[in-house]
Amino acid sequence: MMTIKPRIAIVEDDSDQLHSIEEFLLDSGYPVWGAGSAESFYRRFMVKPVDVVILDIGLPGEDGLAVAALLKDKPDVAVIILSARDSLSDRLSGLRAGADRYLVKPVNLLELAANIDAVGNRLALNAMAALGAELSRQVVDVPRGHWDLALQDWVLTSPQGKPLPLTAHEFALLHRLIKVQGQAVTKRDLTDQIFGPRAQNGSERLNLLLTRLRKKAAETLAEPLPIKTLHQIGYAFTAAARLLQAESGLHEQR
């Protein structure tokens, strides 16, 4: 399901194993960093959060079970214990502490990657469900007005009637989001639609495009665009909107 690789932290005190796993995951396209202790992990996690933590149990100082127990209160973070301890009691202790998966060393790195993707997909599904629940709660607060996107003139009009002229890329972005209003559109889908499937640095260009568009809207319309960023998924247009068919004078409700 996920088209964006989850961010990963490896907490492992054996530097050889840490570097081996880190190198494999980097080569496989995962954003990843490592830490040799629980304390080091906590310090870096505060400034560089991740989606999946690969965790050894036998760490210096605070052990891996304590880390798993702490992360249990973070539903947007998955934990995969990777330990040489292979007894049933050890595996049960790890799962009870809050781990999503328990793998025994030595592990095939392809199997590790498959487990990462599996828990990453679960995180994405949870995020989608949370978005749906949030949008449902916001229904009563949605203003009566709506946003209009003129398909011929490339102009977005706010509920207050203020126009925002768009560039070709800005129009393509808003058209894709409004067309599936309320649903998430992945970054890969958007970059392929806007820049083409072979474009270089598509994700970075998309982030820059959206940042500039938000600033432009704030300055011109004096209100923020209702575009919600969905971590590890993409973006969604969360307000009532219509596509204006200029030639027919009709609006297509979305």
The average pLDDT across 178-203 equals: 86
The average pLDDT across 213-233 equals: 88
- Residues 241, 148 within the same domain: yes
Does any domain span residue 136? no
The average pLDDT across 234-251 equals: 76
Does any domain span residue 1? no
Q: How confident is the model at residue 139 (pLDDT cuts 50, 70, 90)?
A: very low
The chain-wide mean pLDDT, for the chain, equals 86
DSSP code string of 203-249: HHHHHHHHHHHHHHHHHHHSS---EEEETTTEEEE-S-EEEEETTTT
Who wins on pLDDT, 128 or 251? 128
Range list of β-strands (E), the chain? 8-11, 32-35, 52-55, 78-83, 101-104, 147-150, 155-157, 163-165, 185-186, 227-230, 234-237, 241-245, 250-253
Percentage of the residues of the chain whose pLDDT score is greater than 70: 87
* CA-to-CA separations, 200 to 103, 113, 139, 196, in angstroms, rounded: 36, 25, 38, 9
Percentage of the residues of the chain whose pLDDT score is greater than 90: 63
Does any domain span residue 122? yes
Cα torsion 219, 225, 228, 234 to 10°: value is: -80
> Is pLDDT at 79 greater than 80 in this prediction?
yes
Domain boundary among 67, 99, 131: 131
Can you say whether the dihedral through the CA atoms of 236, 237, 240, 242 is positive or negative?
A: negative
Indicate the DSSP class of residue 178. H
- Residues 12, 97 within the same domain: yes
- CA–CA distance, 121 with 117 (Å, rounded to integer): 6
Domain boundary among 131, 158, 183: 131
Q: Which of 41-45, 137-141, 150-154, 235-239 has the lowest mean pLDDT?
A: 137-141
Q: Catalogue the long-range contacts made by 142-145 (C-beta closer than 8 Å, 24 or more residues apart).
A: 142/239, 142/240, 143/239, 143/240, 145/240
- Residues 16, 127 within the same domain: yes
- Residues 101, 159 within the same domain: no
Does any domain span residue 2? no
- Residues 241, 174 within the same domain: yes
- CA–CA distance, 91 with 99 (Å, rounded to integer): 10
> Is pLDDT at 142 greater than 50 in this prediction?
no
Can you say whether the dihedral through the CA atoms of 240, 243, 246, 248 is positive or negative?
A: negative
Domain holding 202: CATH number?
A: 1.10.10.10
Query: What local confidence, expressed as pLDDT, does residue 253 receive?
Result: 45
Does any domain span residue 137? no
The answer to whether the beta carbons of residues 4 and 186 sit under 8 Å apart is yes
Domain holding 83: CATH number?
A: 3.40.50.2300
Q: How confident is the model at residue 87 (pLDDT cuts 50, 70, 90)?
A: very high
The average pLDDT across 211-227 equals: 92
Collect all residues with Cβ–Cβ distance below 8 Å to 248 and sequence separation of at least 6: none
- CA–CA distance, 236 with 176 (Å, rounded to integer): 10
The average pLDDT across 81-102 equals: 94
Does any domain span residue 247? yes
Domain that holds residue 196: 142-253
Q: How confident is the model at residue 109 (pLDDT cuts 50, 70, 90)?
A: very high
- Residues 213, 106 within the same domain: no
Q: Count structural domains, the chain.
A: 2
Residues in the chain: 254
The average pLDDT across 51-61 equals: 94
The average pLDDT across 47-75 equals: 93
Query: What local confidence, expressed as pLDDT, does residue 201 receive?
Result: 83
Measured from the Cβ of residue 171, the count of other Cβ atoms closer than 10 Å reads: 19
